[in-house]
Amino acid sequence: MQWITPNHSTPAILALLFILLPSIAFSTALPEALSFESVDSVSLTDWKFQRLEMKKTLLQEEYGTIPPVPAVEVIEEQREEVQVLGTGFKTTKISAVLAFGADNALTMKVCCWVPKLAKGPCRALLAIEPVWQEDPFITNGILQQILRRNCAFIGFDHNALASYEDSTQRAALDAYPEYSWGAVAAAAWGCSITLNWVETLDEIQSGRVGVWGHSRRGKSALLAGALDERFAAVFSHMSGMGGSALYRERSEGAQRLSQLTEQWWLHENLFAYDGKEDSLPFDQHWLLGLIAPRPLYICSGSKDAWGNPDGDRAAVAAVEPVYKRFGSMNNLQLDVVDEEHIDPNAAGNGSEWERTLDFFIMHMQSMTRTMSSVLVGVPYFAGWWEETPNKWMDPEGKDWRSRFPGRVPTFGEYNTQENMDQEIIVASGYGVDFFSILWYYNPPEGEREKHAALLNRGLEYFMASAQAPRMKFMIEFCNHPPFDVTTEEAWAACTAFWAQCMKHPSYLKVDGRPVFKVHGVQHFLQQHDNDLERCRRDLDILREAVRAEGLEEPLIGGGVGGGESIGPNHPAAVLFDFTCTYMDVPPLDKTEGDYPYETLAEHIEEGRMHHVKDAVPYLPFVSAGWSPRPWGDPRPSFAPPADKYWVAALRKVKQDLNAHEEFGFPSIKAFTIYAWNEYGEGGFIAPTGIWKSRRLQPIRSIFGG
């Protein structure tokens, strides 16, 4: 059923309904490679990789590359109590000037109107508009409409970044000449910068901010929502070509690329497809797919031929499988109005805003689901081998499980195939993308099983699991003594074994390259007598073993200190493709009690910042806890994180990943969660009988799952 609303002046109650669309007959069928029809068979981790490729293509071919969103400095801010013109309605008007970019060279005016009677922080709509202007936002009653619905109204001066109307107004583009963006992308970037400011306002629920735009600004609103998962909902009003409408499905009279005279809006690569839109390596449903599963509202005019309403319908139909995949079909709405290309801010068009507000308020009653492109890794959850029950005994031979009941894992204390199967299901369901399986070399004379030099039960059980397609795994070679590899024969055997494991369909690969970690760079150097050539030779043996299996050259990471900057001449930069940190404990005195978790989190965050200018990418980490008791570790212990501090640590690493291009694997954002305790490598994050899944739940809400 296609829903077309007639002209009317009353609120459109029907806007609360979800639009069921008929199947769309495309002028040119979407190529299979561009379609979402098979998304049901894709794991959530693979969907993150697919999202990344979609984002890359859209930026390279349509919108241009965009700088990371910078931190902002508020150089002016004032609050004033205002009675809205012609009403008795009172509001708090917050105005500010933000400075950002290199040396804070860019400045931009922002404004936020807050309903005076709001009880506590309120939801907000961020419009790509100068909302402080009396005409049209007050004279036409738009501000009053929004405030009456207990919503704040936010806007910013997008012309301070780049103008849609004047190609010579391009302050942001000139400040970042190494990026290939245009006016549409600059305004989208401005939305995220404004949101950085909004997050500092006590009056606003920063997790319930929607982004809205009309026409050309609607293109920017969609892009802002696609690139910044902090926006809880996205609204596009008649955004047409380069916005919500497919290129491959065109209404009669729809705008073509050759008819866009303001080519500085978009990337020059796009115009090479003028007259050949059907050969584009993407289409606009990809943009909508990056917003899923968050609420997405698209308004289209049935008489707006230039804006391509048929393309809007086709795009919404094409993205439906993604919303179905996440069980969020009610978050997708197409509102087709019986109108031409109308300005919702003009006098007499208040019903356009009422439908927007109906949709927004309905969906902000609860927290919206999200999906990011950030990979989340943790050490595998499983505990010790059944053959070594002494691990559960203290030095006096007493079983200490009763002393730490909150740490006893739900799926059993030992590695078994059944436990691994359950751990994969739970971890993947809560948004964990890969297990980092710590692998130890066990020579025949070692403390573990005889004749099992290459055996790792966790690795063995993961690779054998029928649940393995749900997520990825990678190997972290724990090369610290006494598990270092000291002979050429043993190294050759290890590398051949690792290369075989990398052929597994669920092995973590970035850009086709298997990911592998050496636990400690300093140990690796010492084991090679600090001879870089010997180190390089052994790493080359690993690379050759992987290539011999028909795989791409591996991405090899090396473990370094949390606060250890890595310059271009540092051995880690010379030898490895990226660096990482397993764990970093503050250098405090050991006490009988526990230090607060916040002290641990702050130490890790400060150390992370030392890697901002590293010569190679840095894979950051957060810690779900550090308490080695009852083992005799000389380092201090820390209390488990309260829920709010754990959420804050996850949000902070996500913020840092978005702000710093150097963080993550090469070409994709990622981080790991350190979670060791005496029950296993992932003990502090694995489900337990007392803690249940409380450490996992925020991962899903923040990073998707």
Indicate whether 510 and 656 sit together in one domain.
yes
Residue 370 in any domain: the answer is no
Which residues span the domain enclosing 578?
Answer: 375-703
Asked whether residue 369 is domain-assigned, the answer is no
* Chain segment 307-317, per-residue pLDDT in tens: 899 999 999 99
Same domain, 44 and 180: yes
pLDDT value for 450: 55
Cβ–Cβ under 8 Å, residues 627 and 677: yes
Beta bridge partners of 112: 94, 154
Residue 3 has pLDDT above 70, yes or no: no
Q: Would you say residue 368 lies in a domain?
A: no
Least confident of 116-125, 490-499, 628-637: 628-637
522 and 568: one domain?
A: yes
Average pLDDT of the residues in 615-635: 90
In Å, how far from its chain's centre is CA 168? 34
Is 44 in the same domain as 192? yes
Taking 80 as the threshold, does the pLDDT of residue 435 lie above it?
yes
Mean pLDDT value across residues 169-196: 97
Higher pLDDT, 369 or 202: 202
Quick check: is 409 in a domain? yes
Residue 25's CATH number? 3.40.50.1820
Distance CA 214, CA 240 (A): 10
On whether both 157 and 239 belong to a single domain, the answer is yes
* Residues 558, 561, 563, 567, CA torsion sign: negative
How many structural domains compose the chain?
A: 2
Token output for 157: 């001066």
Same domain, 697 and 653: yes
> Residue 695: which CATH number?
3.20.20.80
Q: In the structure, what pLDDT confidence band is assigned to residue 403 with cuts at 50, 70 and 90? A: confident
pLDDT band for position 451 (50/70/90)? low
Distances (CA, A) of 366 to 324, 370, 565, 645: 19, 13, 42, 22
> What pLDDT shows up at residue 304?
84
pLDDT at residue 345, rounded to an integer? 80
Judge if 432 and 506 occupy the same domain. yes
Per-residue confidence band for 19, with pLDDT thresholds at 50, 70 and 90: very low
Among 363, 383, 405, residue at a domain's last position: 363
357 vs 253, residue with greater confidence: 357
The share of the chain scoring above pLDDT 90, in percent, equals 70
Burial of residue 249 (CB within 10 Å: 0-12, 13-18, 19+) is buried
DSSP 102-116: GGG-EEEEEEEEEET
The confidence score (pLDDT) of residue 442 equals 80
What does residue 191 show for φ and ψ, rounded to 5 degrees?
A: -60, -45
pLDDT at 76: 94
Q: Is residue 256 part of a domain?
A: yes
pTM of the model: 0.89
Is-cis flag, bond preceding 630, omega within 30? yes
Model pLDDT for residues 61-72, shown as the tens digit of each residue: 999 999 999 999
Which pLDDT score is estimated for 481?
A: 87
Q: In terms of pLDDT, which residue wins out, 455 or 543?
A: 543
Confidence of residue 384 (pLDDT cuts 50, 70, 90): low
| pLDDT value for 116 | 86
Residues 486 and 616 in one domain: yes
My answer on whether 567 and 615 are in the same domain is yes
Q: What is the pLDDT of residue 22?
A: 41
User: Which of 329, 363, 397 lies at the terminal end of a domain, its last residue?
Assistant: 363
Beta bridge partners of 152: 124
pLDDT (0 to 100) of residue 446:
56
Residue 288 lies in a domain: yes
Same-domain check for residues 335 and 380: no
Split at pLDDT 50, 70, 90, the class of 21 is very low
The predicted structure's pLDDT at residue 385: 52
Task: Give DSSP secondary structure letters for 485-521.
Answer: --SHHHHHHHHHHHHHHTTSTTB-EETTEEEEEES-H
Residue after which a domain boundary falls, among 363, 388, 422? 363
| Whether residue 386 sits in one domain with residue 358 | no
pLDDT, tens digit, 9 for 90 and up, residues 222-270: 999 999 999 999 999 999 999 999 999 988 888 888 888 889 999 999 9
> Would the pLDDT of 353 be above 50?
yes
Query: Looking at residues 645-662, what average pLDDT do you find?
Result: 94
Q: What is the pLDDT of residue 24?
A: 45
Mean pLDDT for the chain? 89
Check: CB of residue 681 under 8 Å from CB of residue 632: no
Output the pLDDT for position 390: 53
Q: Is the residue at 412 inside a domain?
A: yes
453/431 Cα distance (integer angstroms) = 33
Comparing C-alpha atoms, which of 165, 154, 238, 166 is closest to residue 190?
Answer: 154
Residue 332 resides in a domain: yes
Same domain, 553 and 660: yes
Q: So what's the pLDDT on residue 676?
A: 84
- Quote the CA–CA distance of 350 and 310 in Å, as a whole number: 25
